[in-house]
């Protein structure tokens, strides 16, 4: 492993400049920063100031957006950063466009909080990374994974609604074609088939496309469900708002089950019955897996599954 003197000579800068690149204590031009990082990757240089601490890179689609604080990724990111810090690790949050800045001498493990579409776009780059990689709620050959059992969550909601006399149950998912969406839809169809219930055509409802989502929700309501399961943390409040805007009373006109928003769902009117994938627990399990990968990089890739549970509040009407 090269030392700081070798790196400084290769880049034609002072040792102080190299130090500033890694500490961020003073401004360095982007051109010099890029040159130093590229050389550090080539020489497998690891900064002295982080020799005693391991750095986890969290790669996201784009930098956090305050307008999407209730989305799954934003909430999980907050919990994951807390867990990384609590374990005395360093963390670096990188938008996916900055993947070239990752190198093995500095980053000991990578957590991907990326959509499946973005992972596919950068599949070759991600597969070529030399450090351990962990994904959440998605599985790839190049990474280990921690996954919530989303099918279990939908089954728990359906059982709760069925026990309360509901037979026309609708579902929306925030994505049809990612792993979570497929698990939810498979569980929905399997339950309806097993209980001889009519399948109401599911629709995609996403906070990224409110106008189209609201139109699809209106079409779904024309199928006259007595209950709706709205899957996805980011859509819980938009769905509730749109139902209120349409004059639909919860639960008098329509029973509603959403995904849990900790600190929010229980304060809504009515208090929302929710599917909870326990994001703090998911973050803790994710960081625990990262630590294991850092300490034992030879560990075979594996998938760890976490349970969901149903929080019963007041948004489901008893029809029996």
Which tops the pLDDT comparison, 2 or 94? 94
Q: What is the mean pLDDT of residues 294-302?
A: 88
Confidence of residue 201 (pLDDT cuts 50, 70, 90): very high
pLDDT score recorded for residue 52: 46
Distance (Å, rounded) from C-alpha 198 to C-alpha 226?
A: 12
Q: What's the rounded Cα separation, in Å, for the pair 277 and 217?
A: 24
- Strand runs labelled E in 193-308: 203-204, 227-230, 255-259, 273-276, 303-306
Mean pLDDT calculated for residue range 283-306: 92
Question: Tokens 């990082």 identify what position?
Answer: 37
The mean pLDDT of 136-157, rounded to a whole number, is: 97
Per-residue pLDDT tens over the stretch 55-84: 899 999 876 666 667 788 888 999 999 998
Q: What is the pLDDT of residues 87-103, one digit of tens each?
A: 888 888 889 998 887 76
Phi, psi angles (nearest 5°) of residue 285: -65, -40
pLDDT per residue over 255-267, tens digit each? 999 999 999 999 9
Encoding tokens for residue 299?
């560990």
Please give the order of strands across the beta sheet that includes 203-204. Answer: 203-204, 169-173, 227-230, 255-259, 273-276, 309-311
The pTM score is 0.82
Please report which helix (H) or strand (E) contains residue 310, including its range: strand 309-311
User: pLDDT confidence of 320, banded at 50, 70, 90?
Assistant: confident
Tens of pLDDT, residues 100-119? 877 666 788 999 999 999 99
What number of other Cβ atoms are within 10 A of residue 268's Cβ? 19
């Amino acid at each position: 492993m090269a030392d700081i003197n070798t790196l400084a000579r290769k880049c034609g800068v002072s040792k102080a400049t190299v130090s500033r690149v890694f500490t961020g204590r003073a401004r360095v031009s982007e051109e010099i920063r890029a040159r130093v990082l590229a050389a550090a990757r080539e020489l497998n240089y690891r900064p002295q100031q982080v020799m005693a601490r391991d750095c986890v890179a969290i790669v996201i689609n784009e930098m956090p957006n305050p307008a999407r604080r209730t989305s799954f990724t934003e909430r999980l990111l907050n919990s994951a950063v807390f867990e990384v810090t609590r374990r005395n690790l360093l963390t670096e949050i990188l938008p996916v466009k900055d993947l070239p800045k990752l190198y093995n001498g500095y980053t000991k493990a990578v957590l991907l909080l990326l959509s499946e579409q973005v992972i596919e776009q950068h599949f070759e780059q991600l597969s070529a990374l030399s450090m351990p990689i962990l994904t959440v709620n998605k599985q790839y050959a190049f990474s280990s994974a921690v996954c919530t059992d989303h099918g279990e969550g939908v089954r728990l909601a359906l059982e709760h609604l069925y026990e309360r006399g509901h037979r026309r149950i609708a579902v929306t998912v925030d994505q049809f074609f990612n792993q979570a969406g497929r698990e939810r839809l498979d569980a929905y169809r399997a339950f309806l088939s097993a209980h001889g219930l009519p399948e109401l055509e599911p629709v995609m409802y996403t906070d990224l496309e409110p106008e189209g989502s609201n139109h699809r929700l209106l079409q779904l309501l024309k199928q006259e469900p007595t209950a709706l399961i709205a899957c996805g943390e980011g859509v819980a409040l938009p769905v509730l708002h749109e139902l209120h805007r349409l004059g639909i009373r919860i639960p008098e006109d329509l029973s509603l089950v959403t995904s849990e928003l900790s600190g929010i769902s229980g304060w809504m009117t009515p208090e929302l019955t929710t599917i909870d994938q326990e994001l703090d627990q998911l973050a803790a399990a994710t960081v625990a897996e990262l630590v294991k990968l850092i300490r034992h990089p030879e560990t075979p890739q594996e998938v760890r599954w976490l349970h969901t549970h149903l929080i019963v509040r007041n948004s489901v009407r008893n029809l029996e």
